[in-house]
Amino acid sequence: MTADEECGERRGRLDGRRVLLVVAGGIAAYKAAELVRKLRGEGAEVRVAATAGALRFVGVATFQALSGHRVRHDLWDEEAEAAMGHIELARWAEIVVAAPASAHLLARFAHGLADDLPTTLVLASEAPLLLVPAMNRVMWLHPATQANVAHLRARGVTVLEPDVGEQACGEHGPGRLPEPALIVERVQALLAPGPGERFSADLLAGRRVVVSAGPTREPLDEVRYIGNRSSGRMGYAVATAALRAGAEVVVVSGPVGLPPPEGVRVRRVETALEMREAVLDEVRAADVFMAVAAVADYRPARRAAGKPAKTAGGLRLELVPNPDIVAEVAALDPRPFVVGFAAEADDLEAHCRNKLERKGLDMIAGNLVGPGRGFDVEDNTLHVFWAGGEVRLGPGAKTALARDLVALVARRLAERRRR
């Protein structure tokens, strides 16, 4: 029993966290009432926004009594807007949960419609979005719904798989709302770390951390190379955060235009093979390896001497695969705590979970890349996965994300040692 509990103050897993619950029109809407109760039971503050359809299944009074707040359902409700405008409410939310999410709601979210209050709130919010679909099995399996779900997941939205079983319509199949307890667990996992879980100056005291950062350059000849757009910002931010957390830090850095973080030892390399050698050398005595570098997957099979002149015809390059450095470190025995990074264009969770397993990592931090996202920008969002959990960090500055990530690594490392 904690001191707080002895004093009679129960601490919930979601103490003080701000959850905006969107309820759509489906028979499972009645289970949303139980979800509100459970979220509040864990200490969360809950505000409910209901679609017109939802209120045909469950009355305003129910959600109001359970949440302790007025239920929002009308974009044009002057009184409610005067108390807390819809943009303010969207900003207030630390997470938006839609449960049940109907086929129609999924379609509207997928296409960015904002034709009622709940859809407007979702579009105006930067908080993580957790969708919990529940509907008739044929509607769920319909290619239109499945395409909308795939589209939403590709955008980084978390969409839970519905449970399989007896449905209210008498059919059997996928489409039931998952248990509210499980939804509460996912809410907890998706929320950024709370004040009690954040960074402090002694989190990694006495630990040695190796970080790989930046791109690699794979030479074609003595002048030209194949490279990528990694700026090294995330890797340098991670190294700085680890240093501030009390660790001794080595960065194995590809060519970047950033000043080396003060207090961090930097080993400069160019190619993936050089990076591999330096990393393997440094991790022997390390507690943590964080592979933030964007290592080139291939290198030219041959490196020409000098600078061969341009010829009239085309040029055929033969490329050979580079070693996977992070997978090699993860296969060492003994080995440090290994964190991989992944930049993906779609379905972040599936790709990250696959790499976590395939490369034998302890943790992986994924981010979606595309126009204006991920590379060469200051702000980012990280979705972090490990065997038994996940958390979303950001959106925020790479420096802030790096500190949250380092705090997370320190916690997982401490847990691993306790086992």
Which residues in this chain contact ligand C5P in the complex, by CB under 6 A?
Answer: 212, 272, 291, 293, 295, 322-326, 340-342, 355
CB 131 within 8 A of CB 172: no
Tell me whether residue 89 or residue 293 sits nearer to ligand C5P (CB atom): 293
The dihedral built from the CA positions of residue 47, 52, 53 and 59, taken in this order, carries a sign that is positive
Shortest spacing between CB 213 and ligand C5P, in angstroms: 9
For 416-419, the CB contacts below 8 A with 24+ separation are 416/337, 416/362
Q: Is 192 exposed, middle or buried (0-12, 13-18, 19+ CB in 10 A)?
A: buried
Tell me how long the chain is: 419
- Among residues 274, 290, 286, 368, the alpha carbon closest in space to that of 322 is found at 274
Return the H-helix or E-strand segment holding 369: none
Shortest spacing between CB 202 and ligand C5P, in angstroms: 27
Tell me whether residue 116 or residue 344 sits nearer to ligand C5P (CB atom): 344
Shortest spacing between CB 120 and ligand C5P, in angstroms: 36
- Among residues 333, 319, 339, the alpha carbon closest in space to that of 272 is found at 319
Shortest spacing between CB 273 and ligand C5P, in angstroms: 10
d(CA 340, CA 48): 37
Q: How far is CA 402 from CA 47, 118, 393, 413, in A?
A: 31, 32, 9, 16
Backbone φ, ψ for residue 222 (5° rounding)? -80, -5
Upstream peptide bond of 178 is cis (omega within 30 degrees of 0)? no
Count Cβ atoms below 10 Å from residue 393 Cβ, excluding itself. Answer: 23
Whether 169 is a known active-site residue: answer yes
d(CA 384, CA 341): 9
What single letter denotes the amino acid at residue 110?
A
CB 276 within 8 A of CB 293: no
d(CA 238, CA 406): 7
First to last CA, the chain: 20
Q: Is 259 exposed, middle or buried (0-12, 13-18, 19+ CB in 10 A)?
A: exposed
Tell me whether residue 46 or residue 356 sits nearer to ligand C5P (CB atom): 356
Tell me whether residue 133 or residue 336 sits nearer to ligand C5P (CB atom): 336
Given 141, 164, 169, 414, which residue is catalytic?
A: 169
Shortest spacing between CB 339 and ligand C5P, in angstroms: 8
Shortest spacing between CB 357 and ligand C5P, in angstroms: 12
Shortest spacing between CB 296 and ligand C5P, in angstroms: 7
CB 216 within 8 A of CB 300: no
Tokens for 3, please give them.
Answer: 């001191």
d(CA 273, CA 278): 9
Tell me whether residue 136 or residue 212 sits nearer to ligand C5P (CB atom): 212
Shortest spacing between CB 416 and ligand C5P, in angstroms: 19
Counting Cα atoms < 13 Å in the Cβ hemisphere of 291 gives 34
Tell me whether residue 40 or residue 267 sits nearer to ligand C5P (CB atom): 267
Q: DSSP string covering 222-241, please?
A: SS-EE-----SHHHHHHHHH
Tell me whether residue 326 or residue 409 sits nearer to ligand C5P (CB atom): 326
Q: Which positions are annotated as active-site residues?
A: 169
